[in-house]
Structure formats: structure tokens, C-alpha cells
Amino acid sequence: MAVSDAVDVVVVGAGPAGSTAAYRLAREGARVVFLDRMSFPRDKPCGGGLTRRATRILPFDVSPVVEDVVDKLDVRLRYSRMTHQVFRDPVAHMTQRRRLDHFLAERAAEAGAEFRDHVRVRDIETDGVLPVVVLDGGERITASVVLGADGANGVSGKALGLGADRMFGVALEGNAPMTPERERIHRARVTLELATVPGGYAWVFPKGDHINLGVGGWASEGPRLREHLSRLCRAHGVRDDELSAVRGHRMPLRRAWTGVARGRAAVVGDAAGLIDPLSGDGMFEAFLSSELATAAALDVLAGRAAGMEPYGGRLRTALAGHAATAWMARAAIERVPTLAWHVLRTRPAGRFLAHRLASRPPEVEVPLIGGVERAARRVLGPQAL
Ligand SMILES: Cc1cc2nc3c(=O)[nH]c(=O)nc-3n(C[C@H](O)[C@H](O)[C@H](O)COP(=O)(O)OP(=O)(O)OC[C@H]3O[C@@H](n4cnc5c(N)ncnc54)[C@H](O)[C@@H]3O)c2cc1C
């Protein structure tokens, strides 16, 4: 059984959270190993939409892997009534995760992080002075800090006793070829279909040579997702047999703002359950949490902090307000969809949406905002509690 020398940080998972954490740490001179169980480039079920707030927080430009720039939004209600918004500036950049994640991992490796793909982490031991990451095959890597960035179905949360307070939504998506007609309708435009999937919505995203169609909602909608996706396809003139790469995945959402860091370990991104409860986006939250966890890890490495716990507080301050407004909007869309759709058509709502998609959320006091979130979730019922 091989035993590696201790490194500063092991990052488990090389998705958006893991690769950007590895990049930021390596750039500051830390000795970082980041691992992924898949061989890269690999795909991941995801719409691949990077909101402007997500690209803004990234420490480098991702335009080499951007396939479309979105400045138009159509919001439809029950596949019929339609509202159009045209924004002054782009609100999202469309990517494919196969290309984006490979690009992010390459940036981290260029910055000096050691990337090992096709390596599955089996366990993380925390009973010694330093955490030990155990790989399939038995190799053990000792690290001063471990970041769990292994997504919705990873092992690090369980192994570290972190990120447990998550609930899960589900989503299913597929791709249809871009045709001249689809080019005319969908280029630079995102379409959202409200009041179509309980606890969520349906979407159409434009990419380079295809459109991405997807549906997401409460976990209980799992058995009906195929049906929802077929309905979406019909509404957009896409035959079922045109759809390729149909894949489903879980979407983890936080129930409480606790349990994301302990001692010399923390979880980030989906491993921490940080998906936006309104939009289902998680890449902005993955980038933000990796930025905050990286800062905390550098403090531990420099002896300025004893553990990763300060990351938990900073994450709560950074995201609790954002999550509360998301739950409120979701409750409105779910309970009074027609009214919510009429509100969305108004100019102030359009301005608010553009601002939300483009900006880092304001930091807020948690006790007050926690109550707002709980109230919105109660309105949504047991599936949101
Ligand atoms: C259908 C769907 C559509 C979505 N659309 C969007 C969208 O358009 N925009 C958006 O912002 N978000 C979207 N999301 C959410 C987004 O995909 C996630 O929030 C995001 O991928 C989280 O990044 P992450 O780095 O935390 O985790 P992931 O991207 O899941 O990366 C985790 C990595 O860890 C690796 N891993 C897992 N277990 C192990 C192990 N034991 N050992 C080693 N490695 C391991 C995995 O192989 C993976 O590469 C969507 C989600 C779904 C399901």
C-alpha cells in the first residue's frame, strides 16, 4: 500500500468547485493535489449555463469554452403565455460541462496544482493529527487541509460528517441538434417554462451546435421526469428521437447553514448542498464557496487559524440572503404562478433579475433572513422542509 508524503491541501473532485479551489490555492503557493474519479475530459449532467455573476467571480476568463452569450430571456407560463426580456448586458454564458470542466482543471494544473484523474477517493480519515485521504487501491495521502468538492453523490461529506443537512431535487436533460429554425428562435436566448414541473421548471438553452432541453423539480417528480421532458420537447418542436445524451442527476439544496466545516476539512459546491433554490444553478455557488474555503485554508496553512470553521460563517453571510430571496420567489412561482408571471413581465422585475444574475449577492445578517427563508419553505410544504 503506497503512502504519499503530506501535501498542503487535497481537493476531492475536479468540478467547478474543486478545480477553482485547486487553482486559487496553487496560485498562492500551496502544494495541492486535486483528484477526480472520472477520466477527463468528462461530461456531467448540467445545463452548462454560467450566469454573469458566476463568470465575474472566476479568477480567469472562460471565453475559449463559451458557445453562446445570452442577453434575451423568454419566460412562459404553462407552455402558452410568453413574456420577453431583452437585457442591456449579457446575463449568462453558455458552455458544455465536458469542455468547461476540462478547461478549469487545466488552469489549476497550469497554476501548479497536481491533477490526478481516474482516481476514486474511498474514504477520508480524520482521527489523526492530519486528515488522510484514502484512494481506491489503498493509496493514502496526508494533507494539512482537505476540501470535499465531490458533488451531489460524493463520499467526502459522509466521511467528514459534513454537508449532511441537504435535501435533493432531481433534473433530467438532453440535447437536440441546432437547425436553422432553432438558430433563429434560440440563439442568444434562454427560455424558461414556469408552472410545468412541480417544484421546478423546464428550460431551453442555446449551445454551439445544439440546444439543451431540461426539466427539474421536487425529488418526488423523479418517475415523471421523462414525461415532463417529452412535453417540453413537443412544445419546442423537438421529436423525442432527436434527443441525445439524456441524463438525470440529483440537485442538492441546503436545509440549514451549518455543518460545512470542521477541523482541517470543509465541503464546497454541491457537496455542501449549495444549489440556488430558485434557478437550480450551482456553479456560481461552487465558485463562491471555493473562494471562501480557499481563503480559510490559506489561513490554516499560515497558522492564522486553527481550523476551517470560519469558512462556515463566511459562507452563511455570503449566501443566506441570496437563498432566502430564492426560496421566496420559488414559493410565489409555485403557489401563485399566474401572478408571479405577471410580476416577472414588469420592468422593475426585469431589472431585479438582471441584477441578480449579474451580481454577487449582498452579505446579510443571518438571524433575520433565516426566518424569511423558513417562512417561504413552510409555504412550499413538506418537500421543502
Ligand atoms: C440537469 C442539471 C442541470 C444543471 N444546470 C445548471 C446550469 O445551467 N448552471 C449552473 O450553474 N448549474 C447547473 N446545475 C448545477 C451544477 O451542475 C452543479 O451545481 C455543479 O456541477 C456543482 O459543482 P461541484 O464542483 O460542486 O460538483 P460537480 O460538478 O458534481 O463535481 C464533482 C466532481 O467530483 C467527482 N467525484 C465524485 N465522487 C468522487 C470520489 N469518490 N472520488 C473522486 N472524485 C469524485 C465527480 O466525478 C465530479 O467530477 C445543473 C444540475 C443538473 C443536475
At residue 237, the pLDDT reads: 97
Residues 155 and 183 in one domain: no
CB 144 within 8 A of CB 298: no
Give the end of a domain, one of 308, 324, 340: 324
For ligand 1, atom 26: residue with the closest CA? 269
Closest C-alpha to ligand 1, atom 36: 150
Mark whether 106 and 222 lie in a shared domain: no
- In the prediction, which pLDDT does 2 show? 47
Q: Is the CB of 281 under 6 A from ligand 1?
A: yes
- In-domain check, residue 333: no
Residues 220 and 116 in one domain: no
Could you tell me if residue 204 is inside a domain? yes
d(CA 28, CA 154): 27
Nearest CA to ligand 1 atom 13: 281
Q: How confident is the model at residue 190 (pLDDT cuts 50, 70, 90)?
A: very high
Provide DSSP, 151-176.
-TT-SHHHHHT-S-SEEEEEEEEEEE
Atom of ligand 1 nearest to the CA of 271: 26
In the predicted structure, residue 118 carries a pLDDT above the cut 80: yes
Whether 180 and 246 map to the same domain: the answer is: yes
Ligand 1 in contact with 169 (CB < 6 A)? no
Confidence check: pLDDT of 366 > 70:
no
Q: Is the CB of 121 under 6 A from ligand 1?
A: yes
Output the domain CATH number for residue 224. 3.30.9.30
User: Looking at the structure, do residues 88 and 198 belong to the same domain, yes or no?
Assistant: yes
Q: 80 φ, ψ to 5°? A: -130, -75
CB 72 within 8 Å of CB 85 = yes
Give the Å distance between the CA of 303 and the centre of ligand 1: 32
Does residue 375 form part of some domain?
no
CA of 273 to the centre of ligand 1 (A): 11
Q: How far is CA 384 from CA 6, 122, 286, in A?
A: 42, 31, 21
pLDDT band at 364 (very low <50, low <70, confident <90, very high): confident
**85 & 200 share domain:** yes
Same domain, 15 and 124: yes
In a domain, 335, yes or no: no
Let me know whether 111 and 239 are in one domain: no
Quickly state the pLDDT bin for 260 (edges 50, 70, 90).
very high
Q: What is the mean pLDDT of the chain?
A: 94
Same domain, 113 and 126: yes
Whether 197 and 242 map to the same domain: the answer is yes
Give per-residue pLDDT as tens, 314-344: 999 999 999 999 999 999 999 999 999 999 8
Domain count for the chain, please give it.
2
Quick one: 197 and 269 in the same domain? no
Range of the domain at 87: 49-96+167-252
- Shared domain for 175 and 243, answered yes or no, is yes
pLDDT of residue 44: 94
Report the CATH number that the domain containing residue 119 is assigned in CATH.
Answer: 3.50.50.60
Domain contains 357: no
